[in-house]
Amino acid sequence: MKNLLFLLLFSLPLFAKSYKGAEYRTKEAFTYGRFETRMKPAGKEGMLASFFTYHELGDGSYWNEIDIEILGRYTNDVQFNPITKGQVNHVSHALTAFNPALDYHDYGFEWTPDYVAWFIDGKEVHRQTGDHIKTLDLPQKLMMNVWNPDQPNWVGAWSDKILPAFSYYDRVKYSAYTPGTGSYGTDNNFSVLWTDELDSFDTTRWEKGVHTFSGNNCDFIQENVIFENGKMILALTDNITPGFKDVKGPAPIWARAEKNRVTLFFSEEINTVNGSNKANYSIPGIAVQTAKVKDDNRTVELRTSDINLSSTYNIIVLNQKDIFGNTSSPAAITMQNAAPLLFPLRVNIGGGEVSGFLADQEFSAKVEYGFLSGTVRTYPPDIVVADSNGDSVYISERNDFPTYRVRVPNGTYKVTMMFSENAHTAAGKRVFDVLVENKMIEDHLDLFAKVGAKTAYKITLTTEVADEMLDLYFQSEIGTNVINGLIVEQLTVGIKEVGYLLPGKFRLEQNYPNPFNGTTTINFSLPVNQNITFKVFNLLGENIFLKDLGELEGGYHQFKWIAEDNFKSQLSSGIYFYQIKGDEISDTKKLVLLK
């Protein structure tokens, strides 16, 4: 429960707030142990589902709390936070290989006098040690809740269209800390004392919360803790229809338009039959050709005729059904038009536009790049950062954020991340991991230990993007993470869908420009799905470049090639031949490289 005023967390009476949440909490308090649950959170922006322990006696100077919080704004992230005496947060995040909202997973933590370790599906994913952990020495009750904080920078933008929202809990297990005599957990230092399958309300062990607190936009009410079908359900609702009920159909939250595609996001899971019916979508002046519901059952991708991105369009949505059987009322929503980036992209993270760098911004359906969560710190303009080449980006920084995202065409990119340790003057004060496209790039990065204080440090790498989103991830280990700047260069060896009208036959176009110097573009069309390779040959017929483009859908495609061979060596001027080859198709054309 990060960055909120919880001084009176469990002493405020129930207020008549517009929204109603839920909390389930033990009557007993525990000192140390292993705490586990199996759950599926709601996965809706502006709210969270939790599993945590909390010491509820005393003021902030006695604060003891250990959190697992799953924020609905993320599709691949779980947040951990031990809050220690003086109400000090120690936030970290774990990148997941799955969307937590799509299925049940096991989450838990071990709390001992020397460490707190967090687990996902039985695997330890994060551990904290040190003096702050030793202050977690007060008895804490075990709790679960769902609520909507008043901090959109943390949990995302709130919309009551998402209501009702339900988080499901399948099991809770508690194991005592019994070093040397246990048979469970890390080093067999724990002993299982009880497991609750959450089939029903056990009044001897649990109670339902009836309270609220500062920073919480809902009241906790007993009606929103429900036991049904062998699960406990915690509901976030309006104040009119509490409980495990849904009486309204799905509503579109946002729509984003590209040249031949519209992405539509709904307030809740929709029926795939209705969602895949193109007749349920209408855009004046634009033909909707196909509709496809994505894996989350909340996102629909429409393939369309050409959209003029300089014009404004409304999309009309009809006949959508949710999993409760409710049918939506006709709804119209204005589409947000994409504004493709120009490369290289340079971003002054944490600051405004300066010295050829664009301003930082929050990521959303309306923009092409930005952060999710975090805080900003700015230093005096006369700060001297060694090895910075005078770049002004090191004056500002973003801290305590898990993700930075950039919308890009599929392809290969050179990514440069810019850092400087401007706050700390000793090693071990700030340590974090850097991941790009789900791959660990730098583990346990300590900027001071690496280059010292107020010294520029850059990480440069080449990465492939296959889902039209470049994802940067920063996982704090000690203290908060930090970044000052970002540069993204398109290396243009990539594949991009550029249209969705299915062609009647395979066609390979002449490259352009031709002759060319450095980079050229090749368009081709596929009538059906094909496994495609791209090859380049010299005048001797030798294959000097090959790239497997994988399985491509039927449609119009574009490939950009840098005049390099398989060993990244630049090619000399001359005549070459390029080939697109599939399972059942092949064509070759001539191109001219002129330097």
**pLDDT number for residue 495:** 53
Tens-place pLDDT, residues 116-175: 999 999 999 999 999 999 999 999 999 999 999 999 999 999 999 999 999 999 999 999
Task: Answer yes or no: same fold for 345-490 and 494-593.
Answer: no
200-206 mean pLDDT: 98
Q: Given pLDDT bands bounded at 50, 70 and 90, which one contains residue 75?
A: very high
Q: Is 526 exposed, middle or buried (0-12, 13-18, 19+ CB in 10 A)?
A: buried
- For residues 394 and 383, the answer to whether their CB atoms sit within 8 Å is yes
Helix, strand, or coil here: 2?
A: coil
DSSP, res 478:
E
pLDDT at 105 over 70: yes
C-alpha to C-alpha distance for 269 and 280, rounded to whole angstroms: 16
Q: Give the CATH number of domain 252-337; options: 1.10.10.60, 2.60.40.1220, 3.40.1190.20, 1.25.40.10.
A: 2.60.40.1220
Q: Is 327 exposed, middle or buried (0-12, 13-18, 19+ CB in 10 A)?
A: middle
pLDDT at 521 over 60: yes
C-alpha to C-alpha distance for 33 and 193, rounded to whole angstroms: 10
Catalytic residues: 65, 69
Q: Which residues of 459-482 are buried (b: 16+ CB within 10 A; e: fewer)?
A: eeeebebeeeebbbbbbbbbbbbb
Tens-place pLDDT, residues 307-323: 999 999 999 999 999 99
**pLDDT number for residue 61:** 82
pLDDT at 439 over 80: yes
Helix, strand, or coil here: 99?
A: coil
Distances, alpha carbon 382 to alpha carbons 159, 360, 385, in Å: 42, 21, 9
pLDDT at 584 over 90: no
Domain ranges of the chain: 19-238, 252-337, 345-490, 494-593
What is the architecture of the domain spanning 19-238?
Sandwich (2.60)
Beta strands in 72-209 (DSSP E): 77-83, 92-95, 105-111, 115-120, 123-129, 140-147, 165-177, 190-196, 206-208
Q: Given pLDDT bands bounded at 50, 70 and 90, which one contains residue 8?
A: very low
C-alpha to C-alpha distance for 51 and 573, rounded to whole angstroms: 63
36-51 mean pLDDT: 97
Q: Given pLDDT bands bounded at 50, 70 and 90, which one contains residue 63?
A: very high
Average pLDDT, the chain: 92
pLDDT at 499 over 50: no
Q: Give the CATH number of domain 345-490; options: 3.30.530.20, 2.60.120.430, 1.10.10.60, 3.40.630.30.
A: 2.60.120.430
Quote the tokens at residue 288. 């909707």
DSSP, res 323:
T
**pLDDT number for residue 460:** 96
**pLDDT number for residue 15:** 55
Q: Which residues of 488-499 are buried (b: 16+ CB within 10 A; e: fewer)?
A: bbbbbbbbebeb
pLDDT at 196 over 90: yes
Pairing of strands 345-348, 358-359: parallel
**pLDDT number for residue 1:** 45
CATH 2.60.40.1930: does it fit domain 494-593? yes
Among the residue ranges 257-261, 385-389, 472-476, 552-556, the one predicted with the least confidence is 552-556
